[in-house]
Chains A and B, each alone.
Chain A
């Protein structure tokens, strides 16, 4: 079946099978920042923004995303022009193997978009669905709070 959606700001029309999940469709189109982890909604590695809200792309059929807007970590920034959150994760050494990082950055982006100066509790709640085997969580929390501290009440970016 053909689905039309907006991915990282671009209108696309993709062929996909009815049973294909959004994670697979994105990865098949080269968007490898969206990780395939538990595939059961438990790990947050596959998180993307769907119409601005964080969702687990492993539990969304690609067909369900038709007519909607999807943003992956590639849509936030890249090596040449990273998003402030991506830069903050690097600056705070909040990345080790990096498997959980795109999901965490997406979750943080969704939070800062609606709550530019969140409390530490809100940041912890936002990252709660993103288990990380490497960093011990303190550094990702510090990275998000550092970006929030530069927000004067407006959007992070």
Chain B
């Protein structure tokens, strides 16, 4: 419940939005779909700044990239024709795994990115797909717009504080991608999810919930290098080799929902399946 909220604003420019945010210090927050901010941790806020009037809901594809505005909803990601490409399958799968229809209709990419706790599907897919973020910040009274790699790890995510996420930019080419996840029920957050993508002659992998003792999102460079060498041709036992590589790179992370060993084993299985989907091979043999 909002206990201190006195002001609601709906700015129509990025400049006005960041000025309002700056003027209120830590007691103001940006509001997008509201499925997180309107549900929790808002008791002390005095001002919410609604992003709905900003031009951030556009989807724009060019020959080599796809730009998704930060206000694009997860429901739109599921049905957006520009995403109907094998290389973006991981993103569609991640959006489809999200809770229920009414929430998908409200939840936005920008909100999902800012409340990334390292345990969700969508950031896993974005990292494997090589996403970059278009960010606007207020620096010395000026609005500065930059493009940065998707932040991996808690420290990189903390650096997003105070920024407005304007868009997610994905490189386009001719590869394939897949996200494989497992949650206890359709609406639970996943116990593990792994995304794989082939792009520019290499394999890219990302996994969530694997940090030593803490949930986090990470890339898997040694497994990536091994799998990239298999793009042209694979040994008969590639699944077994991939599994060993993944197990060696995934730390065991335990929480009340799953033991560390179970989760690491599950992630390796999901990783092999995601790779099989990218290689165009059967996932279960």
Known contacts A59-B39, A64-B50; decide if A107 and B102 are in contact (CB<8 Å). Answer: yes
Determine the chain B residues whose CB is within 8 A of the CB of A60 once the complex forms: 34, 38, 106
Expressed in whole angstroms, the Cα–Cα distance for A1 and B5 within the complex equals 12
CA distance A107 to B10 in the complex (A): 28
> Is A32 engaged at the interface, CB distance under 8 Å to the other chain?
no
Q: Counting CB contacts under 8 A, is A19 at the interface?
A: yes
Interface 1/0s, chain B 73-103, versus A by CB < 8 A?
0010000000000000000000000011111
Q: How large is the interface on B (under 10, 10 to 19, 20 to 34, 35 or more residues)?
A: 20 to 34
Which of A44, A61, A107, A125 contacts B8 (CB under 8 A)? A61
Q: Is the CB of B101 within 8 A of A63?
A: no
**By DSSP majority rule, is chain A's interface helix, strand, loop, or mixed?**
mixed
Query: Among B39, B48, B100, which residue has its beta carbon within 8 angstroms of that of A129?
Result: B100
Q: How many contacting A-B pairs (Cβ < 8 A)? A: 74
Which residue of the partner chain, among A40, A47, A61, A63, contacts B102 with CB atoms under 8 Å? A47
- Which residues 75-121 of A sit at the B interface, judged by CB distance below 8 A? 107, 110-111
Given contacts A61-B48, A63-B50, A128-B186, is CB(A107)–CB(B101) below 8 Å? yes
Chain B interface (Cβ within 8 Å of chain A)? 1-2, 5-8, 10, 31, 34-35, 38-40, 48, 50, 52, 75, 99-103, 105-106, 186-187
12 further contact pairs, Cβ within 8 A, besides A54-B105, A66-B10: A18-B5, A18-B8, A19-B1, A44-B102, A56-B103, A63-B8, A63-B10, A64-B34, A64-B52, A126-B101, A129-B102, A129-B187
Binding site for B on A (CB under 8 A): 1, 17-19, 21, 40-41, 44, 47, 50, 53-56, 59-61, 63-64, 66, 107, 110-111, 125-126, 128-129
